[in-house]
Structure 1
Amino acid sequence: MTSTPEVPEYPMPRAAGCPFDPPPQLRELQRRTPLTRVRLWDGSTPWLVTRYADQRAVLTDRRVSADMTHPAYPRSAPGGGSLSFIGVDDPEHARLRRMVGSAFTVKNVAAMRPAVQAVVDDALDAMLAGPNPTDLVGAFALPVPSLVICDLLDVPYADHDFFQANSKAVINRDSTPEERAAASRRLAEYLGGLVAAKVGRPGDDLLSRLGARIEAGELSHREATEMAVLLLIAGHETTANMIALSTLLLLRDPDQLALLRDSDDPAVAGRAVEEMLRYLTITHNGRRRVALEDLEVAGCPVKAGEGLVLPNDVANRDPDAFPDPDRLDITREARHHVAFGFGVHQCLGQPLARLELEIVYRTLYRRVPTLRLAADFADVPFKHDGFVYGVHELPVAW
């Protein structure tokens, strides 16, 4: 009698002592097969797509859906609120995304450079004037993107303790459905009030544009609120975690840090941003999709109504796409990574994230050349409990 192979649980744990690398079980699956079943929290067994080229093919296949209301959609956790246009398909996805897309064009984001540079400089001034050692997350990595997205949306930064705490509850894997729903509701009530105040009284900000869309009958208040919640959470949590985690990675690799810190070529920082995004891939819970029709992935049949999980972290370590993928190399041309996803649903805010990271990388390590870890590496608390990976704290000194 032949035994049936056990279906592995997903997500999988990282190896002890290797917090920057994808889980070894995930790497083994990638080496072994392009497609395999995994078991999620609710007992469902969607397909896991392990390889870079196959993930890009799935993410551009119109027979594959991002609709989170589909009964077979492989949800990351129980409960939670709407993710606005992230969780719907075209044409509704395109309609909603178009409402805010112009704010994140490369041209418009480039015009924000002086303002973002000022935010970074001021945050560094405050950090250097404060306690030494300090927590880089609380003193710098979290304030910088929070201030930037607050300015873009016109959300009062004075309320940062409130929206940061609730954002963390929404993206924490260990939150109960009730905790996640309550945090989502608090954020919706808060931002819904700010959006409503913009209707008829607009300013030069993104919430005002949403208010104008409501007034024109192009958006409902609920749609605008859901969009505002998405932009606020994504606008500060992801970049904050990238700043802290990449800084820790560079402190562990002084040669790469010196190469970045000592170069006058702005292209070096730009390549470093892409390589860090590839190497770390902090949205490590996998993109989620569901097949609407029968199709093949890497020659393997997938039936209509079956779920698909695409772990971008392991795709970005695929040796067929990135030679010597486990080596950090900030001179590498890595812009074709899938850290922001791929296809029509790829991250709307990626130009802003790139700008913030580039300015941080060109500023932080030059202004604080003696920056060092102020704790044992083994004691740094990593966010193994989050949908967005990073560190809870990063003790540093200079």
Structure 2
Amino acid sequence: MKVDLPDGQADSWAWWVSDHAAATQVYRDDTTFARGTADDVRPFLRLAPLILTQDGDHHRALRSLVNREFTKPRVDLFRPSVEALVSRHLDAMLALGEPADLIEHLAWPVSLDAITEIVGAPEEGREQFHVWGDMLLSTGPNRAEENQTAMAEMTGYAARLMTERHNNPTDDILSAAVANAERLEIQPMEAALLVASLVVAGWETTAAAIAATVYALLTIQGDDGNSLYSRICARPDLIPGTVEEMLRLIPNSWFDAGQPRRAVRDTELAGVPIKAGDLLVVAHDHANRDPAVFPDPDRIDPTRRSNPHLAFGTGAHFCLGAHLARLELTVALEELTRRTPALRVVGEVAWNHATPIRRPERLPVAWT
């Protein structure tokens, strides 16, 4: 169906794609549905020149700088490090006493430390990415200026780190990006922007997923009248399936959709004629509840056998950090349920509206 877009721009409407099969087709057919020409369409953020707005051979070349480092086998090797990070930050939160803010003391630091550690950024200065992330995703009146400042500063920082790795390579993503950029003749600053954007994209979205998932599990009751959190405390074998269901059902953005695409040529989608130049918004959060693909779609079922959700997209722009995000979510739930089975929400939960990322701004919890 068609939806109206905010006034004051060339695109006054877009196709709203909520059918799972059609959404998958748009995401996978990047030769027909381009991302770059659909950037800066309100209410979505302008993201150029980030990799999220690239198409074709150049996009594939940029991803190849780090793609191998984010494969599931490589990320699985990082599990002991993620377990240590979660344990360390959970120790610190419990030592503070209750109530404590789970997003401030667990979700934020775990996600930031995980992505910066796997990338190879030093521990000192990591918090600056928090500042850059807020500036990059800002929806305020000065967002264009803040966006450009954040891109310039974080790219410069990543470029300095990559220069160090050029002189002293190690076994991390920075070193891999340096070597691959030289081999593929990709400009150093463009490679640096990719590395910096990996950090920004990897920490806030994953922190949001951790916090929103824990909140949902604590506040949603199962068929037995107990919280879903208590269910996985008793059945930790259900945690992997629970993670996939939470990814399927909990929106990561207030828009309930991914970044828009534009049709390159006349085509047909789900029996509807699409003209070249038409704008399409893939409502993947709605597609994730398509009853043709997910029987009883609103039910949280950790034992669901087939779960081809689109939380990370699919196709050329499939989220690079998908396996790392899954690992962080899984380990966070494993440690929380093992060590704080009586965890509960106490006090008011505030939600973030400063950026499009849907997450609690504050999640006060107690555990005794």
The equivalent of 2:359 in structure 1 is 390
Is 2:265 the partner of 1:293? yes
Question: What number of residue pairs does the alignment pair up?
Answer: 357
Q: How far did residue 204 of structure 1 move?
A: 1.7
Contact 1:275 1:328 in 2 (8 A): yes
Alignment of structure 1 residues 245-324 onto 2, 5 Å: 245-253=212-220, 254-265=226-237, 268-285=238-255, 286-287=257-258, 288-324=260-296
The equivalent of 2:106 in structure 1 is 140
- C-alpha separation between the residues in 1 aligned to 2:69 and 2:135? 27
RMSD (Å) for aligned C-alpha atoms: 2.1
Q: How far did residue 357 of structure 1 move?
A: 1.0
The equivalent of 1:188 in structure 2 is 155
- C-alpha separation between the residues in 2 aligned to 1:179 and 1:239? 22
The equivalent of 1:6 in structure 2 is none
- C-alpha offsets along residues 110-135 of structure 1, whole Å, 9 cap, x if unaligned? 11111111111111111111132111
Contact 1:80 1:177 in 2 (8 A): no
The equivalent of 1:151 in structure 2 is 117
- C-alpha separation between the residues in 1 aligned to 2:328 and 2:283? 25
> In 2 relative to 1, CA 82–240 (structure 1 residues): closer, same or farther, beyond 3 Å?
same
Q: How far did residue 317 of structure 1 move?
A: 2.0
- What is the identity, as a one-letter code, of the residue corresponding to 2:204? E
- C-alpha offsets along residues 211-253 of structure 1, whole Å, 9 cap, x if unaligned? 2234446321122111112210122111110110111101102
Alignment of structure 1 residues 2-17 onto 2, 5 Å: none
Q: How far did residue 337 of structure 1 move?
A: 0.4
Comparing 194-203 with 233-242, greater Cα deviation is found at 194-203
Identity, % of aligned positions = 35
> In 2 relative to 1, CA 302–40 (structure 1 residues): closer, same or farther, beyond 3 Å?
farther
- Unaligned stretches of 5+ in structure 2? 221-225
Is 2:210 the partner of 1:243? yes
- What is the identity, as a one-letter code, of the residue corresponding to 1:206? I
Q: How far did residue 333 of structure 1 move?
A: 3.5
- C-alpha separation between the residues in 1 aligned to 2:310 and 2:351? 22
Alignment of structure 1 residues 113-262 onto 2, 5 Å: 113-174=79-140, 176-216=143-183, 218-253=185-220, 254-262=226-234
- C-alpha offsets along residues 305-344 of structure 1, whole Å, 9 cap, x if unaligned? 1111112111112222222222323333353000011112
Comparing 226-235 with 41-50, greater Cα deviation is found at 41-50
- C-alpha offsets along residues 247-268 of structure 1, whole Å, 9 cap, x if unaligned? 1101102432122111142xx2
- C-alpha separation between the residues in 1 aligned to 2:85 and 2:339? 14
Is 2:5 the partner of 1:39? yes
Comparing 287-296 with 205-214, greater Cα deviation is found at 205-214
2:313 counterpart SS class: coil
The equivalent of 1:52 in structure 2 is 20
TM-score, structure 2 normalization: 0.90
- C-alpha separation between the residues in 1 aligned to 2:234 and 2:175? 42
1:330 counterpart SS class: coil
Q: How far did residue 137 of structure 1 move?
A: 0.7
- Unaligned stretches of 5+ in structure 1? 1-34
Q: How far did residue 102 of structure 1 move?
A: 0.8
1:91 counterpart SS class: helix
TM-score, structure 1 normalization: 0.84
- What is the identity, as a one-letter code, of the residue corresponding to 1:397? A
1:348 counterpart SS class: coil
